[in-house]
Amino acid sequence: MTRTQVAIVGAGPAGLTLGRLLESAGIESVILEARSRAYCEARIRAGVLEQGTVDLLRDAGVGERIDREGLVHHGISLQFDGERHRIPLSDLTGGRSIVVYGQTEVVKDLIAARLESGLPLLFEAEGVSIHDLEAGRPRIRYRHEGAEHELECDVIAGCDGFHGCCRASIPPGVLREFSREYPYGWLGILAEVAPSIDELVYARHERGFALLSLRSPTLSRYYLQCAPDENLDEWPDDRIWEELQLRTGVAGWTLVEGPIVEKGVTGMRSYVCEPMRHGRLFLAGDAAHIVPPTGAKGLNLALHDVRVLAEALIRFNERGDETLLDAYSTECLRRVWRCEHFSWWMTTMLHLPPGADPFELRLQSAQLRYVTTSPAQARALAENYVGLEAV
């Protein structure tokens, strides 16, 4: 049996950043992760950081490589009817911008910082289970390197993603859940070729949505709308490029092809559970909410949660004052629902609806035209995309 102040389940962006923020405040934590370090560092995820997210990572002392290698972008484009329309994000938001830097790289930086500090981060922790949540001293049981362990703590941070064990260990009837499944998936590729675009392009097309993104000056990240259960075997590289060419083509521009080094399909859903807390367990990031990737909000929202949680834990540690812990869920859910709405809105505006419903298609066209001609509408998109300061 060991003791710590905060037991963190999950070494994704949420858990690792929380550990770092607590470390700066002199609060002890143990991070338990089910997967191996190699697995966590290889998982390809999204890649758009809001300015507030970058600031937080810098404050946590892991901003150095982002500042060196991250690509600052001042706009994105929406494409429809064969034309691209730039949304000048910075002009519309008083100079704010986004940084393109892979979540995978964020995770590598955070893991390196944690190991450098010599603080406990246990990979391949098996059979994690949670006990006595309603008592003053919750406990976690797990197996590590063949031995059974028990960890006693003041608080558990459930940062273990959508399929983790933390939310699942809250008794039935406590949480209220809200969700929406979309009849879409994204087929994502990573290609070793210089990106053909300087800024992200979100393209609505009658064959389905496509997104042109990037990871670095030599790595392109492109996506195609597909079925949620799309079979990758039916997508040889040639077919992927052909489809990308069709969906993203505009006059006077060429999509340059290259070797595809990674391919995957992700389903899309919206999900929120309320409250984001039960007794001494606090849920953060994907453990509490999921957004479809169209708004690029998942990681940003996860880091907002842990910022709020860290502040609450610091206050609790300094003065035994639980006011901020009690306010945690309400405080987070305001931003969660703003991002849920924005992500749903972007998703429904850009994806080909089932059966190509003609009414919906006309509504999408009207909305896309409005967003790209009205400065007020464009600003609404821009301020959400770069991340609202106050929600």
Interaction mask 43-72, ligand PHB, x per CB under 6 A: ---xxx------------------------
**Please, is 376 exposed, middle or buried when counting C-beta atoms within 10 Å of its C-beta (0-12, 13-18, 19+)?**
exposed
Task: Pick the catalytic residue from 101, 142, 182, 202.
Answer: 202
CB half-sphere exposure, 194, CA atoms < 13 A: 3
Q: Which does 40 bind (CB under 5 to 8 A by kind): ligand APR, ligand PHB, none?
A: ligand APR
Evaluate the CA torsion angle 60, 62, 68, 69 in order and state its sign.
Answer: negative
Shortest distance, CB of residue 269 to ligand APR, whole angstroms?
11
Q: Beta partners for 219?
A: 216
Q: Which does 47 bind (CB under 5 to 8 A by kind): ligand APR, ligand PHB, none?
A: ligand PHB
The string of DSSP letters for 266-309 reads EEEEEEEEESSEETTEEE-GGGTEE--GGG--HHHHHHHHHHHH
Q: Which is nearer to ligand APR, 196 or 266 (CB)?
A: 266
Nearer to ligand APR, 75 or 285 (CB): 285
Binder of residue 221, out of ligand APR, ligand PHB, none (CB less than 5 to 8 A by kind): ligand PHB
Question: How many residues in the chain?
Answer: 391
β partners of residue 281: 156, 278
* Residue 39 annotated among the catalytic residues of the structure: no
CB-CB contact of 138 with 280 (8 Å): yes
- The verdict on whether omega for the bond into residue 275 sits within 30 degrees of 0, i.e. cis, is yes
Per CB under 6 A, 278 contacts ligand PHB: no
Judged by CB, which is closer to ligand PHB: 190, or 281?
190
Binding residue (CB under 6 A) for ligand PHB from 196, 294, 329, 384:
294
Active-site hit among 13, 73, 138, 292: 73
To ligand PHB, the closest distance from the beta carbon of 44 in angstroms equals 8
User: What are the tokens at 54?
Assistant: 């970058």
297 is catalytic: yes
Residue ranges in contact with ligand APR by CB under 6 A: 9-15, 32-35, 40, 45-46, 103, 125, 128, 159-161, 164-165, 285-286, 298-299, 302
- Report what 294 binds from ligand APR, ligand PHB, none; CB cut-off 5-8 Å by kind: ligand PHB
CB of 127 to ligand APR, least distance (A): 8
| CB 90 within 8 Å of CB 74 | yes
Measured CA to CA, the distance from residue 315 to residue 180 in angstroms comes to 36
Whether 73 sits among the annotated catalytic residues: the reply is: yes
Assess whether 263 carries a catalytic annotation: no
> Is 375 a catalytic site residue?
no
Query: How far is the CA of 308 from the CAs of 186, 231, 315, in angstroms?
Result: 31, 40, 11
Catalytic residue annotation:
73, 202, 293, 297, 385
